[in-house]
Amino acid sequence: MRAVRVHGPGDLRVDELPDPVPGDGEVVIAVEWGGICGSDLAYYRHGRSGTAELRDPMVLGHEFAGRVAALGPGVTGAEVGTPVTVHPARPVGGDPLPARLAGRTNLYPRVRYSGSAAFHPHTDGGFSRLTAVRADQLRLLPEGVGTREGALAEPLAVAMHAVNRAGGVAGRDATVNGAGPIGSLVVAALKHAGAARVTVADINDASLAIARAMGADDTRNVARGGRLPEDAELVFEASGAPAALGGVLASTARGGTLVQVGNLPGTEAPSVLGQLVTREITWIGSYRFVDEIDDALAAMAGTLDVGPVMTHTFSLDDAEAAMRTAADPASGSGKVMLRFT
């Protein structure tokens, strides 16, 4: 089979690998679609994502969907040909979480994630013609949700988890800083949860147009004179840019809540944080998701349309061009999709 593997910074190849054979409790998926994430770009550009450093070639991809191609021994509840996506997290070890973290499986101290170099050997992802996963990671696509849209269940789940971290949002105004794919999906998740008015700030007009298509009521280009709303009670920081934190904190109302969903770098970065104290802001981290991938699929089967986020499509053979497009702010790209069939 063919797979998209990163070998080092700037070194992306479409390699020929052996076809996977499902073991006990495993399923092989014939992958049809994959979405390029910021972590995929980080491995491609820098050979690392956060604190995870690439040591060996690794198959990228944790946003993917396809159809069941083969079942291993002991697998029930799925049939060959069933359209599926995958929950990419696999907690390592059987130690129970402390009571204060009950149910928050995303916070296990050791988690293998598809397409991650956090462990060695690395955990290969799903950017391949065929991939083997544990059967309990499967999520069957509901009627009306195709495999192209199903590949976005994972990032939509990230956005929904961030919204859940904020508590009830129904009827409340919200600000989203950063209109990349995650920021735009946060907009959709907020609207789906009943938020009233959503304002989005970014430095790229093309990204802001996507945010409007996903339901933003107001968009502001802060590189061209636009300003973040003042005294915003509820703010989602989705850019992951440390330089933006000072301005975002200053725009958050006294006693307001800031949800950090943008992945901040794993290295030291200067930032102006004084407003965190003087405004008594509640700053909440949001990391991946728990079971919100099920909520994401249900929402997509209903009224939530992720179509506007998907702006570019490339074939498996053009994977490097896809990466370059996703990494180029001038490309006007949102979510860049890889087609494997």
pLDDT given at position 208 = 98
Report the number of secondary-structure helices (H) and strands (E) in the chain.
9, 20
CA atoms of 37 and 159, how far apart (whole Å): 13
Check pLDDT > 80 for residue 206: yes
Q: What mean pLDDT value characterizes the chain?
A: 96
CA atoms of 188 and 100, how far apart (whole Å): 30
* pLDDT tens digit sequence for 53-71: 999 999 999 999 999 999 9
> Among positive and negative, which fits the CA dihedral 307, 42, 221, 322?
negative
Residue type, 315: S
Give the H or E element holding residue 131.
strand 130-134
Q: What are the start-end ranges of the H helices in 193-318?
A: 205-213, 245-251, 274-278, 292-301
Domains of the chain: residue spans and CATH: 2-152+306-339 (3.90.180.10), 156-285 (3.40.50.720)
* Cβ(59)–Cβ(125) below 8 Å: yes
pLDDT given at position 271 = 85
Residue 290's alpha-carbon distances to 238, 243, 258, in angstroms, are 19, 29, 20
Question: Residue 132 — pLDDT band, cuts 50, 70, 90?
Answer: very high
Least confident of 49-63, 93-107, 180-194: 93-107
CA atoms of 203 and 178, how far apart (whole Å): 8
* pLDDT tens digit sequence for 24-51: 999 999 999 999 999 999 999 999 998 8
Check pLDDT > 90 for residue 331: yes
Q: pTM for this one?
A: 0.97
Closest alpha carbon to 201 in 211, 186, 188 = 211
Residue 301's alpha-carbon distances to 34, 190, 268, 276, 309, in angstroms, are 19, 17, 41, 39, 17
Reduce the DSSP state of residue 282 to 3 states and report it: strand
- Give residues with Cβ within 8 angstroms of 302, minimum separation 6: none
* Cβ(156)–Cβ(296) below 8 Å: yes
Closest alpha carbon to 3 in 340, 326, 325 = 340
